[in-house]
Amino acid sequence: MKFWRLLYSRTPEIRDTAGRVRPGSIASLERVRLGGIDQTVLLRGHDASRPVLLFLHGGPGGSAMPLVHEFCDRLEERFVFVHWDQRGAGKSWSPDIPRESMTEGQLVEDCAELTHWLCDRFGQKKVFLVGHSWGTQLGLRAVVRYPDLFEAYAAVSQVVNARRAEAISWQFALDGARRAGDKAREKRLRSLHPPGYDGRVKDLLFQRNCVAKYGGSFCDQAVDKALFRKYFESHEYSLGDLRRLKKGSVWSLAAMWVQHLDWDAIAQARSLAVPVTFLHGRCDRVTPAELVQEYFDQLQAPRKKLIWFERSGHCPLFEEPGLFQQTLINEFLPAPGRQ
């Protein structure tokens, strides 16, 4: 590991096999003012004239930008891949952000403003939208409110009903602790009060830790451990950025968790005006698979598809990155673009 990388952040230029910077490519970390707050976006593409793909990370507050090279190398060949550190997350976190501005409605407006900026920047009429976990909740809300901004939507580990999901996740963790004979974890889990955990982020994170321990986040625990190391190898994040990521994650969860619990996709997004593809891991117990199937069966959309990732839990983009990327290419691009 080259620790000097942690002194500053940059994104590597995109080069050809001879080591030359690809003409017409883009590799840039930029600050964009959205909703009155400066926020960071990462732009990467072999050809800046390609369609734009906007990725919405999980959380709230859980940027995936330090891990971007683990799941976007093929996507940046086909698209201009855009990772946005949302208000309060990672490189976009600041203690000066008004807590009252941390609302789902404000983040939807930030997303729309960013999408307009991307369309103007790259001469596009619309963009492709991909959300992961919390990002699917934000993504669905954006698609419902601003359908004309998006060519299509892909949901990775879609949040369907937050309250029901938390109850299922808590029960999974409790059952896992009981089977393992872990009396201490079982006792603490029984003391919690899902879905709200009485507003205590530390209790929510403990439950998530238990779900991961018993196989509900990653099918292969080794992938989770390997990803932790990758945070410290990132070009895009300095040590200061990693500190901001940790602070922003806890702060954003505390600010937005209660409002997140009111989300119900079946009630609030039963009909979409754009094509939608769901990418979901069979082992996922954070956003339980049965809720996604239930939502898919009732959803009305011009075109819909549900694709199962058999060797993934909550993070198919990290557990099966090749299949994840090829699926998006197949679903988003016309046949000539796949050659």
Structure tokens, 203? 């209790």
Cis peptide before 336 (omega within 30 of 0): no
User: Does pLDDT of 336 surpass 90?
Assistant: no
Q: Which of 140, 113, 153, 122 is nearest to 50 (CA)?
A: 122
Residue 312, SS3?
coil
Number of other CB atoms surrounding residue 311 within 10 Å:
14
22-161+218-338: CATH topology:
Rossmann fold (3.40.50)
Cis peptide before 12 (omega within 30 of 0): no
What distance in Å separates the CA atoms of residue 64 and residue 58, rounded to the nearest whole number? 8
Q: Is-contact 79 48, C-beta < 8 A?
A: no
Q: Please, where in the chain does CATH 3.40.50.1820 lie?
A: 22-161+218-338
- What's residue 335's pLDDT? 64
What distance in Å separates the CA atoms of residue 39 and residue 110, rounded to the nearest whole number? 10
**What does pLDDT average to over the chain?**
94
User: Does pLDDT of 153 surpass 60?
Assistant: yes
In which band, very low, low, confident or very high, does the pLDDT at 130 lie, cut at 50, 70 and 90? very high
pLDDT digits (tens, 9 = 90+) for 26-37: 999 999 999 999
What distance in Å separates the CA atoms of residue 155 and residue 284, rounded to the nearest whole number? 14
pLDDT digits (tens, 9 = 90+) for 247-289: 999 999 999 998 999 999 999 999 999 999 999 999 999 999 9
Q: Which residue has the higher pLDDT, 200 or 173?
A: 173
User: Does pLDDT of 51 surpass 90?
Assistant: yes
Structure tokens, 227? 């990803």
Structure tokens, 26? 């883009």
| List of residues 6+ apart from 150 with CB closer than 8 A | 115, 126, 127, 128, 129, 142, 143, 274
What distance in Å separates the CA atoms of residue 20 and residue 148, rounded to the nearest whole number? 38
Residue that the structure tokens 């940046």 belong to: 76
DSSP 117-162: HHHHHHT-S-EEEEEETHHHHHHHHHHHH-GGGEEEEEEES---BH
Buried (b) or exposed (e) across 167-192, using 16+ Cβ within 10 A? ebbbebbbebbeeeebeebbebbeeb
Question: Mean per-residue pLDDT for 186-197?
Answer: 91
In eight-state DSSP terms, residue 264 is: B
- What's residue 198's pLDDT? 82
Q: Is-contact 314 218, C-beta < 8 A?
A: yes
Q: Which residue has the higher pLDDT, 185 or 5?
A: 185
- What's residue 115's pLDDT? 98
pTM to 2 decimal places: 0.95
